[in-house]
């Protein structure tokens, strides 16, 4: 069991502070954003209820090229050039035109954080926000003020003042997995009603660990029994559970002057529930907008509009992926599904499909020229900053 590092009781001292950018959530989206804001000279504060890397939120598989281009290659545990697809009656090997790698969550988060040495990190549970020209964020340790506030808190979208979405009524999938000691050579996926009625199951090896889980597109369907059953079938103990809700619909990327990124904006891709790559991608996009604002080249309003438009540009792709998810959810038992799985295993079709899929958030985006490299203008005094004597 991982040791809980989060401060408790008396160690949880009061925290009230002003800063330029307050990033709520220190996982894939939040830490990538903090790193993208390095060298701006801005006071960036990152909050999470847990210490960095303490709680893994996923099976941690992502396209290798993204990890390498972000300088996170050393966290890779195992790399795969094929996906082994199982249906109830067939197994097909899909050759991939690019590789996926499983990685170590704690090391990856640590490395992202190391890349943002001038940002500050505090453990605190975020409860809500009063929005305004300078937002006030409420936490269990006190109030924090910042003109630029980012919700990278995951599916709950804590900083939204809209009515809360709660499963099973909300548009969310359900995911649960075990991290068992064990090994394997293949990245495996099952679309098989014996485990999940509408959804899929997986086994992702990560050098000495098997991450075995089930995801249901239908939030009312429980997945624990199925996860235990699959682990038993793969002959590993159902140890170290972790689960979460997974948004499967794109949501507004800004609201009341607040930025949302990653799962809080529904950036996790429907159908595949691949959420790490989009969290990196949209966090970089947001970081590039915020750099403009911090350098005095754009107002907060402009950043809100531009980032919102960037996210919304992907609406059609997300709608198509969601339609495919509905289709797969309804056809898990059918001959059509077996035929589709076989067809995607054909090199030409598979290559075409996967290259289009990767292009939704292409790895090249990680290495776009940084806006920071453009010198600030005379108006470069950051317009959005607040006096921060407490920093
Ligand atoms: C079982 C499972 C397996 C998955 N496997 C994969 C996979 O292999 N590959 C992939 O690409 N995607 C996978 N996903 C999806 C992926 O995990 C998410 O899309 C991704 O984690 C989103 O990143 P994020 O930074 O937006 O949010 P999160 O990773 O959810 O991070 C949110 C952060 O906010 C913190 N937080 C939440 N609420 C509060 C609060 N009130 N106060 C303070 N802090 C708070 C949390 O502690 C956390 O650190 C999986 C999901 C599940 C459920």
Q: Report the 10 Å Cβ neighbour count for 48.
A: 26
Mean pLDDT of the 313-337 span: 85
Nearest CA to 192 out of 334, 340, 332, 341 is that of: 332
Is 380 within the bounds of a domain?
Answer: no
Distance (Å, whole) CA 359 – CA 341: 21
Q: What is the mean pLDDT of the chain?
A: 89
pLDDT at 17 over 70: yes
Atom of ligand 1 nearest to the CA of 215: 1
Is 86 within the bounds of a domain?
Answer: yes
What local confidence, expressed as pLDDT, does residue 110 receive? 98
Is 134 within the bounds of a domain?
Answer: yes
Is 304 within the bounds of a domain?
Answer: yes
pLDDT tens figures, 129-185: 999 999 999 999 999 999 999 999 999 999 999 887 777 777 899 999 999 999 999
Is 390 within the bounds of a domain?
Answer: no
Pocket test for ligand 1, best of 276, 311, 325 (most atoms within 8 A of CB): 276
What local confidence, expressed as pLDDT, does residue 66 receive? 98
Q: To the nearest whole percent, how much of the chain has pLDDT over 70?
A: 91
What local confidence, expressed as pLDDT, does residue 295 receive? 96
Mean pLDDT of the 224-244 span: 92
Atom of ligand 1 nearest to the CA of 247: 19
Is 338 within the bounds of a domain?
Answer: yes
Is 386 within the bounds of a domain?
Answer: no
Distance (Å, whole) CA 33 – CA 36: 5
pLDDT tens figures, 64-111: 999 999 999 999 999 999 999 998 888 999 999 999 999 999 999 999
Is 381 within the bounds of a domain?
Answer: no
What local confidence, expressed as pLDDT, does residue 343 receive? 85
Q: What is the CATH number of the domain that holds 53?
A: 3.50.50.60
Contact 139, 147 (CB under 8 A): no
pLDDT tens figures, 209-221: 999 999 999 988 9
Q: Is ligand 1 within 6 A of the CB of residue 55?
A: yes
Domains: count for the chain: 1
State the residue range of the domain holding 70. Answer: 9-371
Distance (Å, whole) CA 177 – CA 215: 9
- Tokens linked to 132: 């305004």
Q: Is ligand 1 within 6 A of the CB of residue 213?
A: yes
The full DSSP string for 232-300 is HHTT----SEEEEEEE-S---SEETTEEE-GGGGT-SPTTT---HHHHHHHHHHHHHHHHHHHTTSS-H
What local confidence, expressed as pLDDT, does residue 149 receive? 98
pLDDT at 331 over 90: no
pLDDT tens figures, 43-56: 999 999 999 999 98
């Amino acid at each position: 069991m991982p040791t809980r590092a989060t401060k408790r009781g008396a160690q949880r001292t009061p925290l009230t502070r002003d800063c330029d950018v307050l990033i709520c959530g220190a996982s894939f989206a939040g830490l990538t954003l903090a790193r993208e804001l390095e060298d701006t000279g801005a006071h960036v504060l990152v909050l999470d209820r847990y210490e960095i890397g303490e709680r893994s939120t996923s099976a941690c598989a992502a396209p290798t090229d993204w990890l390498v281009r972000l300088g996170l290659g050393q966290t890779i545990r195992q790399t795969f050039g094929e996906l082994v697809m199982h249906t109830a009656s067939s197994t097909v090997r899909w050759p991939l035109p690019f590789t996926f790698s499983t990685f170590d969550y704690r090391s990856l988060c640590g490395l992202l954080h190391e890349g943002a040495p001038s940002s500050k990190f505090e453990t605190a549970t975020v409860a809500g926000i009063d929005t305004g020209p300078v937002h006030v964020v409420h936490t269990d340790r006190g109030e924090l003020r910042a003109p630029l506030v980012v919700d990278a808190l995951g599916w709950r979208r804590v900083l939204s003042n809209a009515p809360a979405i709660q499963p099973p009524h909300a548009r969310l999938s359900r995911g649960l997995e075990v991290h068992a000691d064990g090994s394997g050579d293949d990245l495996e996926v099952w679309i098989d009603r014996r485990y999940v009625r509408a959804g899929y199951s997986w086994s992702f090896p990560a050098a000495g660990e098997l991450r075995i889980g089930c995801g249901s597109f239908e939030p009312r369907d429980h997945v624990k029994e199925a996860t235990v059953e699959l682990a038993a079938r793969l002959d590993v103990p159902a140890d170290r559970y972790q689960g979460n809700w997974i948004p499967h619909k794109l949501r507004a990327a800004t609201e009341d002057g607040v930025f949302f990124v990653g799962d809080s904006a529904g950036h996790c891709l429907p159908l595949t529930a691949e959420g790490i790559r989009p969290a990196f991608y949209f966090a970089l996009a947001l970081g590039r907008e915020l750099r403009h604002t911090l350098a005095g080249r754009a107002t907060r309003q402009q950043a809100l509009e531009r980032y919102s438009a960037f996210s919304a540009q992907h609406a059609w792709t997300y709608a198509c992926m969601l339609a495919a998810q509905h289709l797969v959810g309804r056809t898990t038992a059918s001959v059509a599904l077996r035929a589709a799985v076989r067809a995607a295993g054909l090199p030409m079709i598979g290559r075409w499909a996967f290259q289009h899929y990767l292009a939704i958030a292409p790895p090249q985006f990680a290495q776009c020229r940084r806006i920071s490299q453009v010198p600030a203008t005379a108006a470069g005094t950051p317009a959005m900053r607040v006096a921060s004597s407490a920093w």
